[in-house]
Structures are given as C-alpha cells and as structure tokens.
Structure 1
Amino acid sequence: MTLTWNGKRFDWLNVAYFAGIHAGALLAPWTFSWSALGVFFFLYWLSASVGICLAYHRLLTHRGFRIPKPLEYFFTVCGNLASEGGAISWVGMHRMHHTLSDRPGKDLHTPKDGFWWSHMGWIVCKFEFDRREMEARYAPELVADPVHRVLNRIHVVPNILVGLALYAWGGWSFVVWGTFLRLVVVLHGTWLVNSAAHTFGYRTYDTPEGSTNCWWVGLIAWGEGWHNNHHAFQRSARHGHAWWEIDATWAIIRGLRTVGLATDVQLLPKGAERFRLDRPDLGPVAADPAA
C-alpha cells in the first residue's frame, strides 16, 4: 500500500531529513548554554532574515532592489543555510506560487488544499513536474548566471561546513542550537507564511487570493507576515506598510541603501492608499524617510 497525502506520494528522503532535524532540536534543553543561545540567534537572523527574506525573496524573486553581485552571491549563500533548497529552485517555485496563488491543484501550497498541507505537507511529498523546466520558465535570469547555477547545485554544502565549524568551536551544544533548533525555527517561520498568512489575520488590500497580514508571523519571519501587503505590491522591498507593522528585513535593506550598497529600491507607488479596503482603523501608510 502506497501512503499519500492529497494524492501525492511521500518523499521518504525528505520525511527522514525533516524528522531528523526535529529530533535533534529536542535535545536543546539538555545542551543549553548562553553562548549556544547567542549562536542560535545570530544564525537565525543570518539565514532567515538576510538569507531567505532579503536575498531569496525580496532581492532574487521580486527584484525589489539591487546590490553588488559579490554581495548578492554572499547573501544567497546565507539563504542556503536555511535548508530550503537552492535559490534558483526557491525563486522558481515562489514565482509560480504568485502566478497560481490559492488555486487548488495548481498552487503547490495553498491552504485551500488543507492548512497542514500548505504548512509542510507539500514539502514532504513528490510532485509530477520537471524541476529544470520550471526553473527555466520562472527563473531564467538566475539559470543564465553561472555563479547562481553553482550555488544552486551545492546548496547543502554551507550547512555542512557551518555544522562542522560549530562542533569544532562549541561541541554538540553549538550544533544542536546553531543547526537543529535553528533550522526548525527558520523552516516553520517560512512555512507559516504559506499557511497562517493565508488563513489568520486581517486584509488591508483586496487581492485576488487569500493572503493576510498576520502580526505574529511578521515577528517570527522577520517581516514576511505582512503577506497581504506583499501580494498587493509584490516588488516593494518594504512589507510593513503601517507604522506599527514591524518589518525587520526592511530595516536591513534601508541600512544597505543608506550606505550606498542597495540601489533602485522599490517602494509603494504614490497613491497606494486608494487601493486599500475601507479600513480607517489601520491608519495611514507609513512614510519612507528617504522617499
């Protein structure tokens, strides 16, 4: 008998991998140290905020700003540390999500196919499509970049090297907190954007899919929880539109812009408020100090 979820067969290699990460994270209470906690938070920020939110998502997927190529490649390696695959595959699948968003059977991770499916079920199942064809269609500029092709092929290497370095530096305490526990938090933070930020929260804009702004996902996922804002203005490098919608990743981008490393930064178009739903309780759109 073949086990399936939503008609898809399980990818048992992925099941074993993610089960192993979660099992390793359970050792955290017995391996705690303050230095391990510091390693956890630093690598959490580096891999999730800098790597996934800034590099994979706002830079490579949506081209919300530009940075020098060497810095782009370094930030891409930071994204490799999140264990969410290579940048070319990630960008291709995310652009496909925006094209087919919340269409059951089309969008790979819509909650309309089930909350837990959208959260992580789709990750541990096999899909019947040609990944290279998908990448060529949705991420052609990255496929054409030889450095990104190499980074996409070796995306597992940075985590292995960091894991070895952590063991040499701080033993199993650093490995458990800096690799296993960190990856559990980073992965679920990303997955919550697909599940919770299409289910819970409020809607500021009348977009054609079910995206929402979910404050607690915004905190866990470094600003990615303001997902309805993002779907309304996909190229904007800033996801928090109200002054109280905390967007930690935008703070990094703004800092890069201040020192001249980030250019062509995309923000909300003038008059963006006219596209909002009738929600006076949300207050005005926050002004950009450099706009």
Structure 2
Amino acid sequence: MKRILVCLAAFSLIAACKKSADTTPPPDGKSTTDAGDKPAAAPSEPDPPAIAEARQKYIAGQYSQVIESMKPLVDDLKSKQKARASGLGAAWLSLALAEDVIENAKEPADHALAMADQTGDPEVKIAAKLAQGTYKLKTEDFAGAAADFEEAYNLQKDGPNAGLALVMYGNTKINLAFGGEDNAIVNPGELDSAASTFVKAQRLVEKQPGNELIAARALEGQAAVVRYKDKRNTPEACRLIGEATKIYTSKGAGQPLIDAANALQEEASCGPAPAAAP
C-alpha cells in the first residue's frame, strides 16, 4: 500500500465565486413588465452559517465536529431540495468522513458532484472536486485524485480554497512517486513536482488572511518531501515541520493535525514539538 500523508488531507471550501446577474435596461428606459417578459430571478437564499463553520473546522482538523454538525444539516437541506447548500454541506461532510471511515465519504461526495452539475455553481463544483479527489486519494486512485485537485485549483486560481487544492495535489504527487512491491521511489520527478506545488500553495495563502492552517499544511508537505528525497537533510526537514507546528499550536489545530506533525518530527529526529500556546 502506498504511503499517504494523513496530515495533508484536503479541506475544502466556501470560495468566493459568487454569480452576478447583469441586466441591460431597454433602450426607452422603461422597465420590462410585458406579459412576455421573463420575471427577474429571485435572489438566492443565503447558505446556512453552519456550512462556513464546517469549512473552518475541517481546515482546523476538527473532523468529528464537522461530521456531527453536517450530517443532520445535509439531510435537512436535501429534504428541502436546497441544491447549492446541500452540495456544499455534503462536500465538507465527505471530506471529514474521509478522515474517519473512507467508505462513508462516497455518498456525500457523489451528492456534492450531482449538485455541482445541477446548479453550475463554481463554488459547489470546487468543493465537490475536492471531495471527489480526496475519496480517490484515500482509495489509491492517485491519477484520478490528481485530476480532480488540479481542476479544483484551475476553477479559481486565486480563491480562498485554491491553496487547499494545491496542498491536496502535492500530497497526491508524493503518492505517485512510489511504486513496486517494496513501495520504493520509482518516479522521483513526482517529488520535485510535489515540492514546487507545496511552495506555490504556501506563497498563495500567505496573501490570504484566515488561511494560515493551509500554509502550515504546505510547510509540512515540504518537510515530508525533504525527508523522502534525502533522509540526511534533517535540519531542513526539522525547520519546515517546526514552522508548521508553531502555526498549528497558535491557531488551535485539532489533535489529528498535531499528531501527524509530531509523527513527522519524530521520524526526522527533530526533538520535542513546541508546547501549545496557553
């Protein structure tokens, strides 16, 4: 079985890709109220605040809280046929479930994709692609996962979830570097690709306040690549993972993220992790 960086799981998105409906007034300046005219589209209903909260909790590694809040909400949104909101909620639910029991992540990921197709909403499509890619990554369809993460990034390259898509893509490239019965590095170029992708993610989210935990995941990804490429380069790996751990502790990351970072520190013989902020 190929190695998967558990710390670099996806977290996905409530991106800012809001649609705007521009209208052109008639030449005579009169309103279009004839019987044959189509009525103006009703303003879309705002998403439940719990969806934005689920995104933040997922990014923080608080997966059980996402599952607890999103399961009943997604069921309710489905029953009310709220396509956009149920698609976004299902995507975050799937991403959290992928960190728990991967088999349970497929149904909400598929619902998110169906709602993306139904609505054509770019936000929903990005979230759905992250959920689909994470399911494929966890079930070792690495090529399929890479394609989904790349598409999620390309849909909004400067969006708030673009960095997350890049981190997930970099994690997938690490897995693509390994192969064979002894799980050795057979495609070293994929590690170079992963490294440059993590750096790109870090630089992107540094310009986006509120995405510091994504930057930490990017730093952790860089540390992992250094370890795989040259196990003698301990100082650089320890520097990178140390920076990531400081962000995790200062931003209140969940235990799964802290544990994964500590495991990488131990593997690189970096010494004890910094104490959590009081």
TM-score range, shorter chain: 0.3 to 0.5
Higher relative contact order (CA 8 A, sep 6+): 1
- Greater C-alpha radius of gyration: 2
TM-score by length of 2: 0.32
